[in-house]
Chains A and B, each alone.
Chain A
Amino acid sequence: MAEDERELVASSNANERSSSLLRRLSKDHKLSVASLVVILLFALAAVFAPVLTPYDYDAISLSDRLAPPSFEHLLGTDEGGRDVLTRLLYGSRVSLMVGIVPTMLSMVVGTLVGMTSGFFGGKVDTVVMRVADIVMSFPSMLLAMVVMYTLGGGTANVFLTMVCVGWAGVARVVRAETLRLKQNEYIEAARIVGVRRLRIMLRHILPNCLPTIVVLFTLEIPSSILTESSLSFLGMGVQPPSASWGLMVSTGREFLYHAPWLCFVPCVAIMIIVLAFNYLGDGLRDVLDPHLRGR
């Protein structure tokens, strides 16, 4: 397209820029807004789980085992007679927590490292990036498993592992953004005037990195959720009797032919939440930061 054409179409759509984020999102990306709603619903369900169901997630009742979906048990019962819906709701706590918290921590660590490294440059930058490269070349699932083996199972350890492996990718992206922003003349102007470097980083670079970070965050969450479910599936994540969707899939696998709902219900739940975050992330990226397109 010629420059003129681009400018033309852009300027006639420029009025859009002033509206709020939500409005912009809802205009072209209705699916993203729907996804946001879905995520909020899941979050609410997770928080209000005890209120929403009369059962305990670990209430074993052998007489009721493997009952198909019915009025009493909307999604049936599992091999211990526990209500599947209840376990699903409690499991959503784990999945959402594991999806969001370690990712957030990775974001924080990665941003700190990436921004500092990119801003100051020099030897520190080179060394840090080499380390990040090495971390990124880990077979991450494998390493996660090894760490889990070493530290034992359990939610906290899953968190730790995921942060240890996840920060590197974030650091790379943030560093690239920092380098790009650093070239802007207003940064140089600020330096010349004598603004302290920390202030420049916080006031000028960080706010401009935020859109990228937010989009990255939303897109990394589904990956974290999948990693956790995979780990739990293999028995190396959250341990019974806690409920985790991955764990439910794994235990349900034994009864694939007699009680397929045990396996597929949590699968579908995972699918929905991952899809929702992906749609949301896509929409946010389109609206906020075209630089990440193609990730």
Chain B
Amino acid sequence: MSGTVARGLLRRLLYALIAIVGVAALVFALLRVVPGNPVATLLGEQADNETVERISSSLGLDQPVLTQFANYMLGVLRGDFGESFMLGKPVAELIGPAFVNTLWLALAASLFSWVVGIACGLIAATHKSTIIDRLFMGFSLLGVSLPVFMVAMLLQYVFARYLHWLPVTGVSDWTGYILPAVALGWGLAGSIARLVRSSVIEVMQQDYIDTAIAKGRTNVQVLVFHALRNAMLPIITLMAMQFSSLLSGAFITETIFSINGIGRLSVQAIAGRDIPLLQGTTLLCTFVIVMGNLVADLLYSVCDPRVRKGA
């Protein structure tokens, strides 16, 4: 790795770190801005002020915000994310397994969207301006326009009521991931298909395609050996970003399909005013997204030789 590249990488990592800490701080601050003492809310109206104060101080809620934040971040570095108000367990214990579930879901949905998206995009691009093109693009647009909860509920409805082939809630085994993956992946596939189509069409207009044909390549060969490697560049970035966005929580899908993932956990944390849990999930999600963007950037540099040598 040349010096410039290494420096660029370091710079990006630094910014990533700043982003993560920044968001964590923001969330931290926001949560403490809420009027009313969360402990009081939790304990209900019966609790007297003394008890509330006692518990508050034991949780460190009476200290200045900056100190709290510093303590929190230090704790994080040690792996201690605090304890959940609602469930009494260490947050780390809760978000761990939840993240794993979300990871499987993200992988399944991504795979589905990549395969379907790329296939549709390629077919549309190679049959440009024909009925097939319009059909596939119409489908893609539909995919992008349908709200996730609609697809999810439709699938649930159909499979619960009529076709009893797949489980509609929970993930007791791998089949439980299928419907949620489709619900999630459907919209993503639409985006990918559109981008693949426009990218391939644009690449096919380039001069080096003519050169390839002049060398004696057939149309299929041109597509595979020349067009795709150039067309895929922006798509890879999109795919990486979509994946990291999936990892940071498919709130709706997880809620509808009752999957115990990060998204659902976050929603529950908000509903239950569970600050430590919420902080934990937010921190994790931000980390994932920032890292995901970083990886997407890096991937692009790796794949496009023009970008590789500069920062």
- A residues within 8 Å of B by Cβ? 1-2, 130, 133-134, 137-139, 141-143, 145-150, 222, 226, 229-230, 233-236, 249, 253, 256-257, 260, 263-264, 267, 270-271, 274-275, 278-279, 282, 293-294
A146 touches B251 (CB 8 A): no
A234 touches B145 (CB 8 A): no
Measured in the bound complex, the distance between the Cα atoms of B22 and A1 in whole Å is: 49
Known contacts A142-B282, A149-B34, A293-B198; A234 and B252 CB within 8 A of each other? yes
Given A226-B147, A275-B145, 11 more A-B residue pairs with CB atoms under 8 Å apart are: A2-B207, A2-B210, A138-B289, A139-B282, A145-B270, A146-B30, A149-B270, A149-B278, A257-B161, A279-B141, A294-B234
Measured in the bound complex, the distance between the Cα atoms of B187 and A222 in whole Å is: 13
Q: Tell me whether B311 is interfacial, beta carbon within 8 Å.
A: no
A278 touches B144 (CB 8 A): yes
B266 touches A267 (CB 8 A): no
Measured in the bound complex, the distance between the Cα atoms of B251 and A231 in whole Å is: 10
Contacts of A249 in B (CB 8 A): 149-150, 153
Measured in the bound complex, the distance between the Cα atoms of B195 and A249 in whole Å is: 30
Find A230's partner among B141, B147, B194, B234 (CB 8 Å cutoff).
B147
Find A275's partner among B30, B142, B234 (CB 8 Å cutoff).
B142
Measured in the bound complex, the distance between the Cα atoms of B194 and A279 in whole Å is: 13
**Total number of residue pairs linking A and B with CB closer than 8 Å:** 124
Q: Taking the nearest CB of chain A, how far is it from the CB of B154, in angstroms?
A: 8
Q: Tell me whether B249 is interfacial, beta carbon within 8 Å.
A: yes
Measured in the bound complex, the distance between the Cα atoms of B160 and A279 in whole Å is: 33
Q: Taking the nearest CB of chain A, how far is it from the CB of B172, in angstroms?
A: 22
Output the nearest chain A residue to B238 by Cβ-Cβ distance. A294
Measured in the bound complex, the distance between the Cα atoms of B19 and A133 in whole Å is: 8
Q: Taking the nearest CB of chain B, how far is it from the CB of A278, in angstroms?
A: 5
Contacts of B289 in A (CB 8 A): 137-139
Interface residues contributed by chain B, number (CB under 8 Å): 55
A-B CB proximity, top 7 nearest: A267-B150, A139-B285, A294-B198, A275-B145, A274-B145, A139-B248, A134-B19
Measured in the bound complex, the distance between the Cα atoms of B168 and A257 in whole Å is: 14
Contacts of B205 in A (CB 8 A): 1
Find A137's partner among B160, B278, B290 (CB 8 Å cutoff).
B290
Contacts of A293 in B (CB 8 A): 198, 202
Output the nearest chain A residue to B33 by Cβ-Cβ distance. A150
Contacts of B23 in A (CB 8 A): 134, 137-138, 143
A274 touches B147 (CB 8 A): yes
Measured in the bound complex, the distance between the Cα atoms of B151 and A274 in whole Å is: 14
Output the nearest chain B residue to A256 by Cβ-Cβ distance. B157
Measured in the bound complex, the distance between the Cα atoms of B141 and A267 in whole Å is: 16
Contacts of B281 in A (CB 8 A): 142
Output the nearest chain A residue to B286 by Cβ-Cβ distance. A139
**8 A Cβ contacts from B139-170 to A:** 141-142, 144-150, 153-154, 156-157, 160-161
Find A270's partner among B31, B150, B153, B255 (CB 8 Å cutoff).
B150
Interface string of B284-311 (1 = CB under 8 A from A): 0110111001000000000000000000
Q: Taking the nearest CB of chain B, how far is it from the CB of A226, in angstroms?
A: 5
Find B153's partner among A139, A141, A146, A256 (CB 8 Å cutoff).
A256
Known contacts A137-B286, A139-B248, A234-B267; A229 and B22 CB within 8 A of each other? no
Q: Taking the nearest CB of chain A, how far is it from the CB of B249, in angstroms?
A: 6
Find A271's partner among B146, B157, B249, B285 (CB 8 Å cutoff).
B146
A150 touches B149 (CB 8 A): no
Output the nearest chain A residue to B137 by Cβ-Cβ distance. A282
Q: Tell me whether B225 is interfacial, beta carbon within 8 Å.
A: no
Q: Tell me whether B1 is interfacial, beta carbon within 8 Å.
A: no
Q: Taking the nearest CB of chain A, how far is it from the CB of B93, in angstroms?
A: 21
Could you show 20 A-B contacts with beta carbons less than 8 Å apart? A2-B207, A2-B210, A133-B19, A138-B289, A139-B245, A141-B249, A142-B248, A142-B249, A142-B282, A146-B31, A229-B147, A233-B149, A234-B252, A267-B147, A271-B146, A271-B150, A275-B145, A278-B144, A282-B141, A294-B194
Q: Tell me whether B199 is interfacial, beta carbon within 8 Å.
A: yes
A278 touches B141 (CB 8 A): yes
**8 A Cβ contacts from B248-274 to A:** 248-249, 251-252, 255-256, 266-267, 270-271, 273
